Structure 1
Amino acid sequence: MTERISWYVMRTVLGKEQEACALVEKKIDQSLWECCRILKKQQLFRTQGRYLLCRKEMFPGYIFVETRFPGELAEELQKARQFPQLIGSGRAELVSIEPEDLRFLINVCGRKLAQDMKLSTVEVDEKGQVKSAAGVLAPYLNQITRQRLRHRYVMARVQLFNRQEEVLFGIRMEGDPA
């Protein structure tokens, strides 16, 4: 019987996500995993009165792995001491991403979680409040908890990972870089 392919998440040392993915790619047999990802988002960064497009980690300290064999993959990870710490009980187990969480991740990063979460284009009302959004923010418009238009982001409360998470969405306004 063939196992169903699913996405799992692992915790790693903050700032060492790239090294963790490189270790998986270099040291773990490719037959045990399909994809290893660090989820990224686009954000505008203001410098000298101009906005520059940059990329940041969506979930610092976490990597995402697609596999049919979570048990076997966890065993291989446990054998190598330099691999990421695993979420959960401290034993070698990968934490499965729930279907509703995966829907959110696919919505913002694409089917294989390979795309950056794109900027959403927003319009503001005369009071400076976001009134509409195009892009990944649109379904969460009514859940905005904080906005920093000058810094080109909003925070929205999203049901994610079995709790309410404050997710930062990068935004752009008319005239900003694409």
Structure 2
Amino acid sequence: MPKPQEVTWGMAKHTLFEKGNRAERDEKQMWYVVQVRSGTEEEIKAQCRKVVDQTVLQGCFIPYFIGLKRYLGAWHREKKILFPGYVFMITNDVERLFLELKKVYGLTKLIGVGTDIVPLTEEEINFLKICGKKEMIVDMSVGIIKDGGLIIQQGPLQGFEDHIKKIDRHKRRAYLELTLGEKRCVAQVGLEVTEKS
């Protein structure tokens, strides 16, 4: 195994292998999470698409969710960021992506553990793909509470009931506890509970 060299970027450290040992990295496309200042997600995504080499960055997106908000006497659908403060990136060369991201102003760090940048697991990717679909927008779900347990009857949260840690029936929201690259986070999604027995 080659001796790793450490490169510091912002608050993150990334382990790079010395030149000539690139064959050891996985060529499969991997999904990574970059932490940014909350409220700058769209700006960072636009910068990435403009200044980062697109042969390195195969995808850059921000997952959203559809929620309901009551105003003017009625419920209105609103699109909000699912994971505020995070931008998702797809690459098969995290070492080059890491270096390319130095061109982007306002990034905090790539999410990882210690000095390792950790890609999302298959389970995390599947959650985003199933719930967010191609558009990466998690639509409203509808369910009932029966004998103290939540049953999702319709919507993207079907099958993900175990991830729901809290329900706010008044705001029509569910709070999911998830991990993103080894970092635990809570995400809000739209959930209308139509019945409780």
Question: Would you call these one fold, judging by a TM-score over 0.5?
Answer: yes
Which residue is 2:126 aligned to? 103
User: Structure 2: where are the runs of 5+ without partners?
Assistant: 1-22
What is the CA distance between 1:133 and its match in structure 2?
2.9
What is the CA distance between 1:30 and its match in structure 2?
1.3
**TM-superposition CA deviations, 1:117-154 (whole Å, max 9, x none):** 111022355x9985443222222335543222221112
More displaced stretch, 16-25 vs 141-150: 141-150
Which residue is 1:17 aligned to? 41
What is the CA distance between 1:31 and its match in structure 2?
1.2
Identity of aligned residues (%): 24
Instruction: Give the alignment partner of residue 171 of structure 2, picking from 140, 151, 159.
Output: 151
> 2: distance between equivalents of 1:94 and 1:160?
11
Which residue is 2:144 aligned to? 123
Change in Cα spacing, 1:30 to 1:153, as seen in structure 2 (3 Å) is same
SS at 2:188 equivalent: strand
Aligned pair count reads 169
Greater Rg by CA: 2
Which residue is 2:154 aligned to? 134
Which residue is 1:72 aligned to? 96
TM (normalized to structure 2)? 0.72
More displaced stretch, 57-66 vs 95-104: 95-104
Change in Cα spacing, 1:44 to 1:86, as seen in structure 2 (3 Å) is same
Which residue is 1:85 aligned to? 108
SS at 1:74 equivalent: helix
TM (normalized to structure 1)? 0.78
Q: Which runs of 4+ in 1 moved over 6 A?
A: none
Change in Cα spacing, 1:85 to 1:166, as seen in structure 2 (3 Å) is closer
> 2: distance between equivalents of 1:157 and 1:81?
29
| Root-mean-square deviation over aligned CA pairs | 3.0
The one-letter code sitting in structure 1 at the alignment partner of 2:141 is S
> 2: distance between equivalents of 1:170 and 1:29?
35
> 2: distance between equivalents of 1:128 and 1:63?
35
Q: Which has the higher strand share?
A: 2
What is the CA distance between 1:24 and its match in structure 2?
0.6
